[in-house]
Amino acid sequence: MFFNNLEELLWRVPALLIAITFHEYAHARMAYAWGDPTAKMQGRLTLNPVSHLDPIGTLMLLIAKFGWARPVPINPLNFRDQRRGLFFVSLAGPGMNLLIGLVAAFLLIKFASPWTPFYLFMFNVMLYNVYLAIFNIVPLSPLDGSKMLASLLPRRHLPYYYALEPYGPFILIILLLFGLLPVFLVPAASAIIGLYGFLINLLIP
């Protein structure tokens, strides 16, 4: 379904672009910090959304109100420590989204008047960043969670994991088609947003 009106388009699309762009930038920045210049050499160490957009993902952004970016290219062989580097590079994207979600929640709670354009924009920034973070830590290929899991598994278990990895996209498609992802995405997002509110009101009365 397309966006209902121009006003909705104006606050949701920028919110989604912020979530996607900072997610990919964080991967590129962390990879560079661990010694891999691949993303930088390909022009991905930037906050320019155009450098990260995927054509199909952008189309889905307009049609389904959710999209994706081009994955940041990395070469774990360049990392100072391959397993630790892969874990932190994979974690960087969702971690950045959770941080932006927290900042947006702070601005909502402390500065936004309900249902104003600023409130609606910040609400969407918070929401999309939280959902993108949770979705990406699902331990199924090609999501970040699959790489995090691979970096944590004992080496003797990796051949079994890699044998199952090609089925990850198909499992994701099945979960999406049957509407099973919201079963854990929605409660997890609600818990994180509730935690944001608790921490903000506790630390900044």
Contact 2, 63 (CB under 8 A): yes
The Cα angle at residue 117 between residues 112 and 122, in degrees rounded to 5: 55
Residue type, 134: I
Give the chain's count of helices (H) and strands (E): 9, 0
Q: Of 7, 8, 24, 165, which residue is the catalytic one?
A: 24
- Which residues share a beta bridge with 53? 69
Enclosing H/E stretch for 197: helix 181-203
d(CA 147, CA 86): 7
165 is catalytic: no
Contacts (Cβ under 8 Å, ≥6 apart) of 50: none
Contact 29, 50 (CB under 8 A): no
Catalytic residues: 24
